[in-house]
Amino acid sequence: MSCKDRIESILLQALSETFESLVFEEVVIQGIVEGSKHIDADGSWWVNIDIIEPFDSQLVLVVRKDLMIQYTEAIFGMLDDEMPAETQILDNLGELMNTFCGRIMALMLPPDHSFRLGLPVAGEGLLPTPQGKFYTVNCLIGDNLVFLIVPENFCNHDFLSCI
Amino acid sequence: MAKVLITDDSATARMIIQRCIEVLGWQSCEFLHASNGVEALEIVMNQSVDLIITDIVMPVMDGINLLKRIKVSPKLNHIPVFVISSLANPAMEKELEQFGVDHLIYKPVSPPKLLEALEGTLGKDFLEK
C-alpha cells in the first residue's frame, strides 16, 4: 500500500468510525485535491482543531449548514417543528471534530504514544485555511459532500511522507 | 430506577451518551446532566447517584479532578466512575487508574462500548434495578 493510499485509508477509517457512530452515515472519500477553491464557504460552518502534540498542525472540517442542522435534530431527537439553536449546532460540530481528531491521531500514532489537541473552534465565512500548501479531502457522507482540510505538514508526518 | 449522571461541557456529547444507554434498552434510567466537575459534585452531594460518566477536558473542574474528589470521599467513593476521552495518553491512563477509575472509554462512544463497560464493571443487573 502506498503512502497516499495509507493516509486515505486512515482518514476513511477515522471519518467512518466518527460519522457512523454519531450520525449513522456511511463515508466515501471522493478524492483529495490541492487547495480549497471548490468549497462553498458561505453556505457552510467550519470547525478547526489545532494539533499540539506530538507535532504542530491543524485540521479543518467544513459541513453544509442544512446538513449540520439535520444531524443536530437527529442527535437531540427533535420533532419536525423544532429548530436547534446555533449554539447546539456548533457544539455538535465541535464534538464531531473532536471525536474525529481523537480517532485519526490514535490511528496514526503507535498505541503507547501521547497526543494533545486544542479545543474545537467553530465558525462561518472565511475558512481558517492553513499557511502553506494544503489539501482538501472531499468526503461523501450519506448523500452529502463534507470537506476536510489537511495541511501538507500533517500528511508529511512519519510514514505519510511520500504523499 | 438507576440514576446516571453524565458530565460533559458539550450538550451534544451528553445527549449521545444518554442515547447510547437508551438504545441498550434502559430507557427507564433517570439521567442527570452536568457541564463540569463542580456541577457534578453539587448533584452527587445532594442526591444519590448510581453511576457517573464524565468527560476529561471541561472548564471549571475537569474529569480527573472530579474523579479524585469522588474517590477520596468516604461518602461518595462507592459510586462507579466511567471516564470518556478522545485523547490517548499513557500517563493520563495511569493517573486515572491510580485515582480509581472504574472504566475508561475512548470516543466515539457507542452502545457496544458502553454495554461492555456497564456489564464488565457493574454486572448485567445494574441498570435493571
Q: How many domains does chain A have?
A: 1
Is ipTM > 0.85 here?
Answer: no
Task: Please answer whether residues A22 and A75 qualify as being in contact, where contact means their C-beta atoms are separated by less than 8 angstroms.
Answer: yes
Amino acid at A107: L
Mark yes or no for CB contact B86/A117 under 8 Å.
yes
How many Å apart are CA A66 and CA A154, to the nearest integer? 29
How many Å apart are CA A147 and CA B108, to the nearest integer? 20
Residue with cell 487508574: B97
Residue with cell 476521552: B85
User: Going by C-beta distance under 8 Å and a sequence separation of 6 or more, which residues neighbour residue A27?
Assistant: A12, A15, A16, A19, A20, A139, A140, A141
| pLDDT score of A111 | 76
pLDDT digits (tens, 9 = 90+) for B21-77: 888 877 678 999 999 999 999 999 999 999 999 999 899 999 999 999 999 999 999
* Residue from A22, A76, A105, A107 to probe the interface with B (highest B Cβ count within 10 Å): A22
Q: What is the DSSP letter of B32?
A: E
pTM of the full structure:
0.84
* Residue from B83, B105, B107 to probe the interface with A (highest A Cβ count within 10 Å): B107
User: Going by C-beta distance under 8 Å and a sequence separation of 6 or more, which residues neighbour residue B50?
Assistant: B2, B3, B4, B79, B80, B126, B129
Q: Are strands A44-53 and A121-124 parallel, antiparallel or unpaired?
A: antiparallel
Mark yes or no for CB contact A91/B85 under 8 Å.
no
List of chain A residues whose C-beta atoms are within 8 Å of the C-beta of residue B107 = 98-99, 102-103
pLDDT digits (tens, 9 = 90+) for A103-148: 998 888 887 788 889 999 999 988 998 888 888 999 998 888 899 9
CATH of the domain at A75: 3.40.1550.10
Residue with cell 439535520: A70
Percent of chain A beyond pLDDT 70?
A: 92
How many Å apart are CA A14 and CA A37, to the nearest integer? 25
**Cis bond before residue A54 (omega within 30° of 0):** yes
Domain that holds residue A151: 3-162
Residue with cell 429548530: A83
Report residue B28 as a C-alpha cell: 427507564
